[in-house]
Amino acid sequence: MTKKAPNPIDKHVGSRVRMRRMMLAMSQEKLGDALGLTFQQVQKYEKGTNRIGASRLQQIAHILQVPVSFFFEGAPDMGLPETDIGMSEAPSPAYVSDFLATSDGLALTKAFMRIHDAKLRRRIVDLVEHIAGKSPEHADDPVL
């Protein structure tokens, strides 16, 4: 018997739950307690293995102090027809959400946002781009 792969939307919503929970430094156990669930059930939600129902998602949004729409930001396009009510914006790449859902991504983002000097932040971005290897059109740009 083969296991069915999680739906991409369920995985995305789960990763956003994980990202927000980690931003609040909340454990899976603490979120589970607030929901009346085990931490294992929270794990399954975060992996997209178990789908989160509408009322449960509303409850999670309340506990994590975000609107329900937060969980769908940057969700993959599932081939639905676009409407003319602002739904045609390009979603953010999945790798960004995946990175922000990691402890390193979250720590880096939090630390970076504590740097108030905009010029210093820009220089850090330039440095990281240089270390990672820039695209050819920026190869001659000075670093720091």
Arch. (CATH architecture) of 1-76+93-102? Orthogonal Bundle (1.10)
- C-beta separation of 6 from 49 below 8 A: yes
Model pLDDT, residue 143:
47
Q: Residue 101 corresponds to which tokens in the numbers above? A: 């859902």
List the one residue out of 67, 29, 69 whose CA is nearest residue 46.
29
Domain boundaries of the chain, sorted by first residue = 1-76+93-102, 114-144
pLDDT at 142: 53
CA 109 remoteness from chain centre: 12
pLDDT value of position 35: 97
**For the range 130-138, what are the long-range contacts, defined as Cβ-Cβ under 8 Å and sequence gap of 24 or more?**
none
State residue 104's pLDDT score: 86
Q: Is the pTM of this model over 0.85?
A: no
Written as tens digits, the pLDDT of the chain (144 aa) is 567 788 889 999 999 999 999 888 899 999 999 999 999 999 999 999 999 999 999 999 999 999 999 898 888 776 655 554 454 445 456 667 777 778 888 888 888 888 898 899 899 988 988 888 865 455 555 544
d(CA 42, CA 45): 5
